[in-house]
Chain A
Amino acid sequence: DAKTTQPPSMDCAEGRAANLPCNHSTISGNEYVYWYRQIHSQGPQYIIHGLKNNETNEMASLIITEDRKSSTLILPHATLRDTAVYYCIVRDPYGGATNKLIFGTGTLLAVQP
Chain B
Amino acid sequence: KAGVTQTPRYLIKTRGQQVTLSCSPISGHRSVSWYQQTPGQGLQFLFEYFSETQRNKGNFPGRFSGRQFSNSRSEMNVSTLELGDSALYLCASSLEVLNTEAFFGQGTRLTVV
Q: Is the CB of A99 within 8 A of B106?
A: no
Q: Is the CB of B42 within 8 A of A99?
A: no
Contact size range, B: 20 to 34
Task: Pick from B92, B97, B106: contact of A42, CB below 8 A.
Answer: B106
B43 to chain A, nearest CB (A): 4
Task: Pick from B33, B58, B90, B107: contact of A99, CB below 8 A.
Answer: B33
Where the two chains meet, the residues of A that have a C-beta atom closer than 8 Å to any C-beta of B are 32, 34, 41-46, 49, 87, 93-95, 97-106
Q: Is the CB of A105 within 8 A of B42?
A: yes
12 A-B residue pairs with CB within 8 Å: A32-B100, A41-B107, A44-B102, A46-B103, A94-B98, A97-B97, A98-B55, A98-B56, A99-B97, A99-B102, A100-B58, A104-B42
Q: Is the CB of A43 within 8 A of B45?
A: no
Task: Pick from B91, B100, B106: contact of A93, CB below 8 A.
Answer: B100
Tell whether B4 is near chain A: CB-to-CB under 8 Å.
yes
Chain B CB within 10 Å, residue with most, of A32, A99, A100: A99
Q: Is the CB of A98 within 8 A of B48?
A: yes
Q: Is the CB of B90 within 8 A of A100?
A: no
Tell whether B94 is near chain A: CB-to-CB under 8 Å.
yes
A55 to chain B, nearest CB (A): 12
